[in-house]
Amino acid sequence: MPRPVIGITCYVEPAAFTVWRMPAALLPYTYVEHVVRAGGQPVILPPAGDPAPLVERLDGLIVAGGGDVDPGRYGEQPHHQTGYVRKFRDEAEFELVGAALEAELPFLGICRGLQVLNVSLGGSLHQHLPDVVGHSGHSPAPGEFGHLPVRLAPGSAIAGVLGAEEAAAAHYHHQATDRLGEGLAVSATSDDGTVEAVELAGHPFTLGVQWHPEAGQEGHLFEALVAAASAGRSW
């Protein structure tokens, strides 16, 4: 049977490749590898044109990591540490997430993807997590993952997917959920109380994780997304 089609949002940033240096639509290839290993067909979705109607052609959606969400979307002024805001990406992804939720499309938000989901549903963000938790372990240095365990809520969907009460996680985020969006439930936290995963009740599969599962070898979250996409597809 055909692989279910999994859309993955991407960055638009200056990039160097072969002899060129120019703006590029790009994505860490580990996202692609995980979706393929899980049995899905990845399709990269740049933040251009009108991506929301593509929901009708997708079987699942991943909103990938990236820069900070514009704080104006949750009624705040930017913190001095808020950065890499790309308003064109916000516009595309918020419309895409809204369409995906309305269609009950299987959804996985990763890092920024969780934050887009939360703000889409009326939530807000801590703009600079070290101000809240008193340490920089969630993002220890540029280009360096923090490795903090996360505790999974018993009975939550993510605990069922990972088959554990605690999981190792690769963190690279200086922001996190503050006010929780409507309908979301917290399904994982770190020891300092940071929200590390959320899920949406009443939807077949809508999960957001604040860490970076694409950075590891274990692919349970991608496998669960592809399984949900396969189950919901009209072949």
For residue 44, give the 3-state DSSP assignment.
strand
**10, 111, 126, 173: the active-site residue:** 111
DSSP 8-state assignment for residue 216: S
Q: How far apart are CA 72 and CA 78, in angstroms?
A: 8
Residue 213: count of CB within 10 angstroms of its CB: 22
Q: Is 214 a catalytic residue?
A: yes
Is 8 within 8 Å of 45 (Cβ atoms)? Answer: yes
**CA nearest 44: which of 59, 60, 25?**
25
Largest CA distance in the chain: 51
- What sign does the dihedral 229-231-233-235 (CA atoms) show? positive
**34, 138, 171, 212: the active-site residue:** 212
Q: Is 135 a catalytic residue?
A: no
User: Exposed/middle/buried for 220, CB within 10 Å: 0-12, 13-18, 19+?
Assistant: middle
Q: Is 10 a catalytic residue?
A: no
For residue 205, give the 3-state DSSP assignment.
coil
Q: How far apart are CA 179 and CA 126, in angstroms?
A: 9
- Residues involved in catalysis: 111, 212, 214
